[in-house]
Structure 1
Amino acid sequence: MSRIGRRPIPLPPKVEVHIEGQQISVKGPKGQLLRTLPPLIAVRQEDQKLLVSQVNESRPARQLHGLCRTLIANMVDGVSKGFERRLELVGVGYRASTQGNKLILNVGYSHPVEIPFPPGIQISVEGNNVIVVSGIDKELVGNTAARIRAVRPPEPYKGKGIRYLGEQIRLKAGKSGKGKK
């Protein structure tokens, strides 16, 4: 049995959970999330806790046990606190702005790159070079941040590009032997 899967999920106040068969709905102050669980996993509510268990001891059930528990815990955290990822633009002239429902990036291409906001995601720009992606669905927040980073990933020689805030880029030395014959 999974160590992670056995841990109960505490429900904070103002968070409601409805379980109908394999469908679980979590509603809180920030919004509502819905997920369909695999038939090998069962969820039940006791007091202010959710317990995730396997239907049988098959290998696929053991593989999904910890995963489903973590997905449900992320749903509970998302509707109560929310998630955010911060990205920073490093490079001369690199800047970001929002216009309506789009993020506009000027990152060294001949044209500005426009990225539309997915539903349920808020994107804001602090200064000209810090992008904040926030929302209640952890998976969607992470995927959106990864799509923004993929526009201009950090390059290994000068470190210019879009990176996660606090991400360490290992720089390469470049050409050596300058001036030798």
Structure 2
Amino acid sequence: MPLFHRTSQRSADQPPPKRRILVADDDPSIGRLIQTALPANQYETVVVANGMEALDAFNKGQFDLVFLDVMMPFVDGFDACERIRAKSDVPIVIITARDGTDDIVQGFRRGADEYITKPFKVAEFVARVEAILRRVDMQKARTAPTFVQVGDLVIDAIAHKVSVRGAEVKLTPMEFELLYFLAANAG
């Protein structure tokens, strides 16, 4: 997740936009359960059946939260998690029947922010969704400079570009956010 999230402020009288949630699980009953558990007036849930469809849907749309089952055809949840994390800081939750310590550790090491084992209690699941999105909202509320310069290092937060002595430096989203945070808080 980003250390700072640069967004414009919304007026207080505007209703909050629907949260878009991507759910990837080869068990259709899980997708239906999540769609039923989350209020339709607050959430738009996109359900796909495998990791390849999850990556395709993620690349085509903006999502506030991603749920990935581990045991899916074509691309498993761990691989999908790693690929999404390489290009985005969206919160990712692994939701799976695999509850071994090695699986949980692998999920976090590959980029997951949360790990939920099946079967799960619906009320607890909804509370976790709300908690994750509340943390995202708190981060969005932070204001941050759009341009930071420390010595020869220049960071343009709007263009998401970093340069050193005029030469552009390619960074992953997490590397960018970490460097931005450190430079914005130099000293």
TM-score over 0.5 (shorter chain)? no
TM-score (norm 1): 0.30
- Structure ID, larger Rg: 1
Give the number of the structure whose residues are more often helix, by fraction. 2
TM-score (norm 2): 0.30
Higher relative contact order (CA 8 A, sep 6+): 2
